[in-house]
Structure 1
């Protein structure tokens, strides 16, 4: 027995010394963006399954925020590219990295190539947030700027015998132009040029500030790009030309050979690095975070694809009923969709406010048309500078396929009894004059309601709102100047604002709604007011494939408040 006690004592001492030694070793967080970043909507029932090698944005943001205040963490090293990321994701990561560096942490970005004779603007925009940038000697820097392209298929529609009967409110609501025009209209071109100019200014300004250059210098480099690695070094856009082993050797020289490398995602989840303020199952008053990711539709949504009105309103009611929830943040990543579905969500937002719970809207890459509708009545709206938002307008219509069907030998006939407009939505008949009148009355009603409620929510003169509306898209920065949003910031900004308005401390917990887990499958909800009602949508189907195809083409299968936006910068 004494021998066992002695052995146990020695083992305990060794473990204690090992723990002390581990605690003394500096931790360097690693961020691998080889495959880009995966956005996991809050209502996903399986958020932890390793479905891909892409790290999840919530884990990255949590790890970087935790590491910022952890004395054990000395720095961050990130591999940039070649995976594609949306501008909204890049903005979130960029702000998180800047906050991390501002806490006195060393940050290093390295890349084999930021665009191998290809577009690399967004990759470099993210890299510029780091204090040190390394590029492989054989790499390129594709900082070529921002472009937008719009396809116009009117001639193709004519050739195959498809006619588009559609209307819109107003000239900047250009969703149907893809099928009704042969090129840019004056309003369409004006709108897209404004967006591109605003985004270029955002990216050039951010790079200039981070690299100690002027905005004009960055724009001049854009005109010369794509750049060879040596040209990027000469222009002051990278600090060194290095291979991976050289980057990591330099890091170990700076922090010692015993420094520990940990992926940010591992650090965020690991009990080894969990701080007392972030222990699991910490319960107290906090903020509910509800994600709206995808096209807005009636009914139940499909995680990452569609936002269901029933899904979202259930989640809002659950948050309203939870006495521990003192404020709500709606994170919107949506081009819009159904007017009625958007209105249902808007109503629950208004109800949350009446119940004394501040609601803050947080806009991602795109929060336009119906995506703006759902948050325009919030207590405050936080947009990223590059968010594509507003698009206060409406369109509706249908494709007429009769000529196409006749060309392939298909004739469609039918009978109707009763209503004169019973075949109004048939895809084989054009609208009659009476039906065009009904369409226009409907478009006018939706547009007027949208504008009036936007003016009310933003406390703006209705005439001024009508000037800003007309279906026009604005970037977050431009929307802030025009009073359509309150401030420019990221999700961190929105959560901080929610805590402040609710009188919560700065470390009050954030809880995602709806809550999902195995336990939610074991007990069905007792009623639509039961908080578990919000979890039913987690296992919803992927939706109608035809509906997804038509909505991606800009046809109103998902609703009139939709803005199909084709903007890609990498």
Structure 2
């Protein structure tokens, strides 16, 4: 009977798959087969930064389905191709009204400056900049343009940088919730909101330190691009907020006008017959190209770091996750490929599982052992676990505002038993084996023996982290401990401390890889970022058994998909881990 029910459930899943999955696959296949319309002979590109941006392209085809988004990587790579395209006459950038992630803004600013250096104008248009998040980063991107326009009547509110944290201690005290956490060390403040009712001195010091560094950096670049002294620009901006007309009088922007006015001005400059084309449309039209010359691999990794494989652990989870199996395998593939001379690994991560981070770092070592340099390019984040996987790279390149370091660990739990007891809910636990077997139960805090064992584990993870950084950065463990202790640094600060080799973006990292591999001239940049296919992601999303897998395979065979049989042989699902591990995770800053 049980086998019959299992079979029927599989058949039912197969029918659902046929009715839902096959149309989905047809849509995906049709979208991939559709050829973009040919480009006009003269185009003005338009880049809209108001939509949500990831650092890298969506890796999970289901989680990204139906959503329009830009990625920093796609923007900068497309603009680089446009530099040498004679059809492209200029660029219009639509700015968001609030803050951008600082590292993303730094990378896009560099791309705009390279585009302008090729002799093509850039107009940045704003419908207002409002004091939310790191709005100075958005202003910095606008200041990098040839002309900075603002809509009449809009406001320019770029007066500083502020963050707001929530502290739960008094709430927990009132309702009997007991936070039981270990931190290594005093600057590892990700759980301070559970443990305190205000900033600790260390938390306040670290927070203000990276905020001042980001603020100073963004103002410095904006001032250089506007041709004024940083102190003058700072005084003017902090004297706001201003209406657009006043911002123009103060020289903070160049022109007032509607978006249509800016578009017409750029089209007039481009010449008769020029047409506006969205950057994403242009990217599809020109496609991608490896270039020519020796091969340098590009491997991208974005999001929290966890064990498992993309699309097979939880295909409907956010696409921005770093799955250690996938990234490690990509690195091992590079180590074994004789045609690849070097690797650039793009990292944009606040951290995650220590064991997953170590799996990736072991693969980095394998690439280096094969005689191939590994250069890490950091986006907005390269912190905690994100720094762990970079720590033994041949070189690390970070943006001046990248948040990195956070060399530390935390872990623990919230004991909810006392709070629930007040509402008549009692938590009881039974267990066999050693005392630590029930350590992660939420009914009560750690026992003294459990706390001692857990603390020893936190000490061990922290010591391992220190060892890897000391080895990778050629520093003494004592020096690493001095600048570690869980503290977040910006890329500019990390460079001075020896945690980063160079301040810059993706193309600076590529140049460093070429230098380390003794390569000259053009190179072929081969993207080896692991991606889940629509077929794999859909299969796992429906949780199919053998019968429904066969149904999908048959449907795929009808559609001519050669991957159908191979999926039958390679299906695997791994659960996310980490409940009992230390989390090497950095706090997330405001954007």
Structure-2 separation of matches of 1:191 and 1:366: 16
1:332 match: secondary structure: strand
Q: Cα deviations across residues 161-186 of structure 1 (Å, max 9, x unaligned)?
A: 21011111111111221100010111
Q: Do residues 35 (structure 1) and 51 (structure 2) align?
A: yes
| Alpha-carbon offset, residue 506 of structure 1 | 4.5
Give structure 2 stretches of 5+ with no counterpart: 1-37, 312-317, 536-560
Aligned to 1:286: 295
Q: Cα deviations across residues 179-199 of structure 1 (Å, max 9, x unaligned)?
A: 000101111111011011101
Q: Do residues 75 (structure 1) and 90 (structure 2) align?
A: yes
Provide TM-score, normalisation by structure 1: 0.84
Moved more, 87-96 or 297-306: 297-306
Aligned to 1:201: 216
2:300 match: secondary structure: strand
User: Does the C-alpha gap of structure 1 residues 351 and 557 become closer, same or farther in structure 2, counting only changes over 3 Å?
Assistant: same
Structure-2 separation of matches of 1:41 and 1:563: 23
Aligned to 2:394: 379
Alignment of 1:126-275 (within 5 A): 126-271=141-286
Alignment of 1:516-535 (within 5 A): 516=531, 521-522=563-564, 524=566
Structure-2 separation of matches of 1:100 and 1:379: 29
Structure-1 separation of matches of 2:140 and 2:562: 41
Q: Do residues 568 (structure 1) and 568 (structure 2) align?
A: no
Q: After the TM superposition, list the runs of 4 or more consecutive aligned residues in structure 1 that deviate by more than 6 angstroms.
A: 116-119, 281-284
User: Does the C-alpha gap of structure 1 residues 230 and 557 become closer, same or farther in structure 2, counting only changes over 3 Å?
Assistant: farther
Q: Cα deviations across residues 13-32 of structure 1 (Å, max 9, x unaligned)?
A: xxxxxx9x964xx4322212
Structure-2 separation of matches of 1:374 and 1:472: 17
CA contact (8 A) 1:107 1:130 kept: yes
User: Does the C-alpha gap of structure 1 residues 379 and 526 become closer, same or farther in structure 2, counting only changes over 3 Å?
Assistant: farther
Structure-2 separation of matches of 1:51 and 1:507: 37
1:524 match: secondary structure: helix
How many residues get paired?
Answer: 521
Structure-2 separation of matches of 1:200 and 1:515: 35
Alignment of 1:62-101 (within 5 A): 62-82=77-97, 85-101=100-116
Aligned to 1:495: 510
| Alpha-carbon offset, residue 224 of structure 1 | 1.4
CA contact (8 A) 1:33 1:54 kept: no
Q: Cα deviations across residues 129-181 of structure 1 (Å, max 9, x unaligned)?
A: 10111111111112122122221110111122210111111111112211000
CA contact (8 A) 1:41 1:293 kept: no
Q: Cα deviations across residues 414-444 of structure 1 (Å, max 9, x unaligned)?
A: 3333313221221112212222211221111
2:333 match: secondary structure: helix
Structure-2 separation of matches of 1:50 and 1:416: 44
Aligned to 2:314: none
1:262 match: secondary structure: strand
| Alpha-carbon offset, residue 463 of structure 1 | 1.9
CA contact (8 A) 2:56 2:74 kept: no
Aligned to 1:442: 457
Q: Do residues 327 (structure 1) and 327 (structure 2) align?
A: no
Structure-2 separation of matches of 1:416 and 1:36: 47
2:70 match: secondary structure: coil
Aligned to 2:322: 307
1:297 to 303, 306, 323: 306
CA contact (8 A) 2:55 2:302 kept: no
Aligned to 1:11: none
1:385 match: secondary structure: coil
Structure-2 separation of matches of 1:61 and 1:35: 16
Structure-1 separation of matches of 2:101 and 2:258: 27
Q: Tell me how large the CA RMSD over aligned residues is.
A: 2.8
Give structure 1 stretches of 5+ with no counterpart: 1-18, 528-532
Moved more, 484-493 or 64-73: 64-73
Q: Cα deviations across residues 61-81 of structure 1 (Å, max 9, x unaligned)?
A: 222101112233222111212
Structure-2 separation of matches of 1:79 and 1:95: 16
CA contact (8 A) 2:427 2:443 kept: yes
1:109 to 115, 124, 129: 124
Structure-2 separation of matches of 1:269 and 1:22: 14
Q: Cα deviations across residues 462-489 of structure 1 (Å, max 9, x unaligned)?
A: 2221110111110000000111000011
2:53 match: secondary structure: coil
| Alpha-carbon offset, residue 300 of structure 1 | 2.5
